[in-house]
Amino acid sequence: MSKIYLGTVALEKNRWAPGRIPSFEVSDLIPAITDNGFDGVELWQYHYTHVADEEKAKLAASGVPFYLSTYISIVNRNEEVYKEIGDVAKAIGAKGLKYNFGKRLDTAPDIDSQIENLKCLCGYLPDDTKLLCECHAGTIMEDPELAGEVFSKLDKERFGAIIHLETDTDFADRCFKNYGDRIWHIHCAYKNGNDGFVAMDDGTGNVEKLIKYYESKGFNGSYAIEFVKFEPDAESHLKHAIEDVKYLKKIIK
Protein backbone atom coordinates (compact mmCIF):
# COMPACT_ATOMS: atom_id res chain seq x y z
CA MET A 1 0.00 0.00 0.00
CA SER A 2 1.11 3.56 -0.69
CA LYS A 3 2.43 5.48 2.31
CA ILE A 4 0.24 8.21 3.82
CA TYR A 5 1.83 11.12 5.64
CA LEU A 6 0.26 13.73 7.87
CA GLY A 7 1.12 17.30 6.92
CA THR A 8 1.56 19.15 10.20
CA VAL A 9 0.42 22.34 8.46
CA ALA A 10 -3.04 20.73 8.55
CA LEU A 11 -3.01 20.97 12.34
CA GLU A 12 -1.63 24.50 12.57
CA LYS A 13 -4.09 27.34 13.20
CA ASN A 14 -1.26 29.88 12.67
CA ARG A 15 -0.23 28.53 9.28
CA TRP A 16 -0.97 31.83 7.53
CA ALA A 17 -0.55 34.15 10.52
CA PRO A 18 2.22 36.78 10.59
CA GLY A 19 5.50 35.29 11.76
CA ARG A 20 4.32 31.69 11.24
CA ILE A 21 4.69 31.00 14.97
CA PRO A 22 3.68 27.40 15.82
CA SER A 23 0.80 26.97 18.24
CA PHE A 24 1.85 23.49 19.38
CA GLU A 25 4.82 21.12 19.42
CA VAL A 26 4.63 18.29 16.91
CA SER A 27 6.54 15.88 19.14
CA ASP A 28 3.61 15.88 21.60
CA LEU A 29 1.34 14.45 18.92
CA ILE A 30 3.64 11.93 17.27
CA PRO A 31 2.38 8.92 19.29
CA ALA A 32 -1.21 9.70 18.30
CA ILE A 33 -0.15 10.23 14.68
CA THR A 34 1.74 6.95 14.34
CA ASP A 35 -0.77 4.94 16.37
CA ASN A 36 -3.66 5.98 14.12
CA GLY A 37 -2.54 4.88 10.70
CA PHE A 38 -0.07 7.47 9.44
CA ASP A 39 3.16 6.18 7.94
CA GLY A 40 5.09 9.40 8.50
CA VAL A 41 4.97 13.16 8.90
CA GLU A 42 5.24 15.93 6.35
CA LEU A 43 6.75 18.54 8.67
CA TRP A 44 5.83 22.19 8.17
CA GLN A 45 9.15 24.02 8.02
CA TYR A 46 8.30 26.32 10.92
CA HIS A 47 7.43 23.40 13.19
CA TYR A 48 11.20 22.90 13.28
CA THR A 49 12.83 26.26 12.58
CA HIS A 50 10.58 28.28 14.93
CA VAL A 51 10.78 26.03 18.00
CA ALA A 52 13.15 25.56 20.93
CA ASP A 53 16.22 23.33 20.71
CA GLU A 54 14.58 20.77 23.02
CA GLU A 55 11.72 20.30 20.55
CA LYS A 56 14.16 20.05 17.63
CA ALA A 57 15.99 17.29 19.49
CA LYS A 58 12.75 15.42 20.15
CA LEU A 59 11.80 15.54 16.47
CA ALA A 60 15.24 14.39 15.38
CA ALA A 61 15.14 11.48 17.85
CA SER A 62 11.57 10.43 17.09
CA GLY A 63 12.45 7.89 14.41
CA VAL A 64 9.44 8.98 12.35
CA PRO A 65 9.81 9.05 8.54
CA PHE A 66 9.74 12.74 7.60
CA TYR A 67 9.14 14.80 4.53
CA LEU A 68 10.05 18.48 4.98
CA SER A 69 7.57 21.04 3.65
CA THR A 70 9.48 24.25 2.90
CA TYR A 71 8.72 27.74 1.66
CA ILE A 72 12.21 28.35 0.42
CA SER A 73 12.77 30.62 -2.59
CA ILE A 74 14.65 29.44 -5.64
CA VAL A 75 13.94 32.71 -7.44
CA ASN A 76 16.65 34.49 -5.46
CA ARG A 77 19.60 32.40 -4.35
CA ASN A 78 20.40 32.55 -0.64
CA GLU A 79 22.95 29.92 0.29
CA GLU A 80 22.74 30.76 3.99
CA VAL A 81 19.05 29.83 3.93
CA TYR A 82 19.75 26.80 1.75
CA LYS A 83 22.29 25.57 4.30
CA GLU A 84 19.80 26.12 7.13
CA ILE A 85 17.18 24.03 5.33
CA GLY A 86 19.80 21.42 4.51
CA ASP A 87 20.74 21.19 8.19
CA VAL A 88 17.06 20.66 9.08
CA ALA A 89 16.74 17.92 6.46
CA LYS A 90 19.84 16.20 7.85
CA ALA A 91 18.66 16.49 11.45
CA ILE A 92 15.30 14.79 10.80
CA GLY A 93 16.55 12.48 8.03
CA ALA A 94 14.09 13.94 5.53
CA LYS A 95 13.14 11.47 2.83
CA GLY A 96 11.69 14.26 0.70
CA LEU A 97 11.62 18.05 0.56
CA LYS A 98 8.72 20.08 -0.80
CA TYR A 99 9.52 23.33 -2.60
CA ASN A 100 7.97 25.64 -5.19
CA PHE A 101 9.19 27.36 -8.29
CA GLY A 102 8.49 31.09 -8.52
CA LYS A 103 5.21 32.74 -9.41
CA ARG A 104 3.98 33.32 -12.93
CA LEU A 105 4.71 36.92 -13.82
CA ASP A 106 3.73 39.45 -16.47
CA THR A 107 7.32 39.30 -17.67
CA ALA A 108 8.94 35.97 -18.51
CA PRO A 109 10.58 34.49 -15.39
CA ASP A 110 14.21 33.38 -15.56
CA ILE A 111 13.54 29.66 -15.40
CA ASP A 112 17.13 28.61 -16.11
CA SER A 113 18.30 30.69 -13.15
CA GLN A 114 15.71 29.04 -10.89
CA ILE A 115 16.88 25.61 -12.03
CA GLU A 116 20.48 26.49 -11.17
CA ASN A 117 19.39 27.79 -7.75
CA LEU A 118 17.47 24.55 -7.18
CA LYS A 119 20.59 22.53 -7.99
CA CYS A 120 22.49 24.71 -5.51
CA LEU A 121 19.91 23.95 -2.81
CA CYS A 122 20.20 20.26 -3.66
CA GLY A 123 23.89 20.40 -2.79
CA TYR A 124 23.06 21.21 0.84
CA LEU A 125 20.66 18.28 1.26
CA PRO A 126 21.33 14.65 2.20
CA ASP A 127 22.14 12.60 -0.90
CA ASP A 128 19.01 10.48 -0.49
CA THR A 129 16.53 13.34 -0.02
CA LYS A 130 14.12 13.56 -2.97
CA LEU A 131 13.11 17.05 -4.09
CA LEU A 132 9.37 17.32 -4.65
CA CYS A 133 8.08 20.29 -6.62
CA GLU A 134 4.55 21.31 -5.70
CA CYS A 135 3.15 22.07 -9.16
CA HIS A 136 1.00 24.78 -7.66
CA ALA A 137 -1.49 27.14 -9.25
CA GLY A 138 0.05 30.56 -9.75
CA THR A 139 3.60 29.23 -10.21
CA ILE A 140 5.44 28.55 -13.45
CA MET A 141 4.91 24.82 -12.88
CA GLU A 142 1.14 25.27 -13.13
CA ASP A 143 1.47 24.78 -16.91
CA PRO A 144 1.91 21.02 -17.49
CA GLU A 145 3.73 21.48 -20.78
CA LEU A 146 6.21 23.96 -19.30
CA ALA A 147 6.60 21.79 -16.21
CA GLY A 148 7.50 18.85 -18.44
CA GLU A 149 10.22 20.95 -20.09
CA VAL A 150 11.61 21.97 -16.71
CA PHE A 151 11.68 18.39 -15.41
CA SER A 152 13.52 17.28 -18.56
CA LYS A 153 16.45 19.38 -17.31
CA LEU A 154 16.52 17.72 -13.89
CA ASP A 155 17.77 14.33 -12.72
CA LYS A 156 14.89 11.87 -12.99
CA GLU A 157 16.06 9.94 -9.93
CA ARG A 158 16.15 12.99 -7.64
CA PHE A 159 13.49 15.47 -8.74
CA GLY A 160 9.78 14.63 -8.62
CA ALA A 161 6.42 16.37 -8.50
CA ILE A 162 3.47 16.87 -6.19
CA ILE A 163 -0.04 17.30 -7.51
CA HIS A 164 -3.29 17.86 -5.62
CA LEU A 165 -6.13 15.46 -4.93
CA GLU A 166 -8.90 17.59 -6.40
CA THR A 167 -7.08 18.34 -9.65
CA ASP A 168 -9.55 18.33 -12.54
CA THR A 169 -9.04 15.08 -14.44
CA ASP A 170 -8.72 16.75 -17.86
CA PHE A 171 -5.96 18.94 -16.45
CA ALA A 172 -4.41 16.00 -14.58
CA ASP A 173 -4.32 14.08 -17.88
CA ARG A 174 -2.01 16.79 -19.21
CA CYS A 175 0.18 16.51 -16.11
CA PHE A 176 0.53 12.75 -16.54
CA LYS A 177 1.18 13.15 -20.27
CA ASN A 178 4.00 15.64 -19.72
CA TYR A 179 5.62 14.46 -16.50
CA GLY A 180 3.73 11.45 -15.24
CA ASP A 181 6.87 9.56 -14.27
CA ARG A 182 7.76 12.44 -11.93
CA ILE A 183 4.48 12.45 -9.98
CA TRP A 184 5.56 10.85 -6.70
CA HIS A 185 3.34 12.51 -4.09
CA ILE A 186 -0.25 13.75 -3.81
CA HIS A 187 -1.41 16.45 -1.41
CA CYS A 188 -4.87 15.61 -0.11
CA ALA A 189 -7.25 18.39 0.84
CA TYR A 190 -10.94 18.09 0.04
CA LYS A 191 -13.59 20.79 -0.38
CA ASN A 192 -15.97 19.25 -2.93
CA GLY A 193 -17.31 22.68 -3.86
CA ASN A 194 -17.57 23.97 -0.28
CA ASP A 195 -15.92 27.12 1.01
CA GLY A 196 -13.88 25.19 3.55
CA PHE A 197 -12.34 21.74 3.83
CA VAL A 198 -14.66 18.83 4.61
CA ALA A 199 -14.33 15.17 5.55
CA MET A 200 -13.15 12.92 2.72
CA ASP A 201 -15.75 10.29 3.60
CA ASP A 202 -18.66 12.60 2.78
CA GLY A 203 -20.96 9.97 1.31
CA THR A 204 -20.42 11.06 -2.30
CA GLY A 205 -17.62 8.64 -3.20
CA ASN A 206 -15.78 11.48 -4.96
CA VAL A 207 -12.50 10.93 -3.16
CA GLU A 208 -12.53 7.25 -4.04
CA LYS A 209 -13.13 8.15 -7.71
CA LEU A 210 -10.17 10.52 -7.64
CA ILE A 211 -7.90 7.94 -6.02
CA LYS A 212 -8.91 5.28 -8.54
CA TYR A 213 -8.26 7.75 -11.37
CA TYR A 214 -4.70 8.38 -10.14
CA GLU A 215 -4.08 4.67 -9.75
CA SER A 216 -5.40 4.09 -13.28
CA LYS A 217 -2.71 6.51 -14.52
CA GLY A 218 -0.06 4.37 -12.87
CA PHE A 219 0.46 6.43 -9.74
CA ASN A 220 1.94 4.38 -6.89
CA GLY A 221 3.60 7.10 -4.83
CA SER A 222 2.82 8.56 -1.42
CA TYR A 223 0.02 10.78 -0.14
CA ALA A 224 -0.14 13.49 2.51
CA ILE A 225 -3.17 14.92 4.23
CA GLU A 226 -2.44 18.60 3.70
CA PHE A 227 -5.54 20.30 5.13
CA VAL A 228 -8.62 19.32 7.11
CA LYS A 229 -11.74 21.06 8.40
CA PHE A 230 -10.56 24.12 10.30
CA GLU A 231 -10.74 24.00 14.10
CA PRO A 232 -9.36 26.13 16.96
CA ASP A 233 -6.69 23.66 18.11
CA ALA A 234 -4.32 20.99 16.86
CA GLU A 235 -6.00 18.12 18.70
CA SER A 236 -9.33 18.80 16.96
CA HIS A 237 -7.58 19.04 13.60
CA LEU A 238 -5.88 15.72 14.30
CA LYS A 239 -9.23 14.02 14.93
CA HIS A 240 -10.36 15.04 11.44
CA ALA A 241 -7.06 13.92 9.93
CA ILE A 242 -7.37 10.50 11.61
CA GLU A 243 -10.87 10.10 10.15
CA ASP A 244 -9.48 10.96 6.73
CA VAL A 245 -6.51 8.58 6.91
CA LYS A 246 -8.73 5.69 8.01
CA TYR A 247 -10.95 6.34 4.99
CA LEU A 248 -7.98 6.61 2.62
CA LYS A 249 -6.55 3.34 3.94
CA LYS A 250 -9.77 1.61 2.84
CA ILE A 251 -9.49 2.76 -0.77
CA ILE A 252 -5.80 3.15 -1.58
CA LYS A 253 -3.93 0.13 -2.88
pLDDT at 106: 60
Residue 106, Cβ neighbours under 10 Å: how many?
Answer: 4
Whether 3 contacts 40, CB under 8 Å: yes
pLDDT at 108: 74
Is residue 119 packed enough to be buried (19+ CB in 10 Å), middle (13-18) or exposed (0-12)? middle
Residue 77, Cβ neighbours under 10 Å: how many?
Answer: 15
pLDDT tens sequence for the chain (253 residues): 799 999 999 999 999 899 999 999 999 999 999 999 999 999 999 999 999 999 999 999 999 999 999 999 999 999 999 999 999 999 999 999 999 999 887 667 899 999 999 999 999 999 999 999 999 888 999 999 999 999 999 999 999 999 999 999 999 999 999 999 999 999 999 999 999 999 999 999 999 999 999 999 999 999 999 999 999 999 999 999 999 999 999 999 8
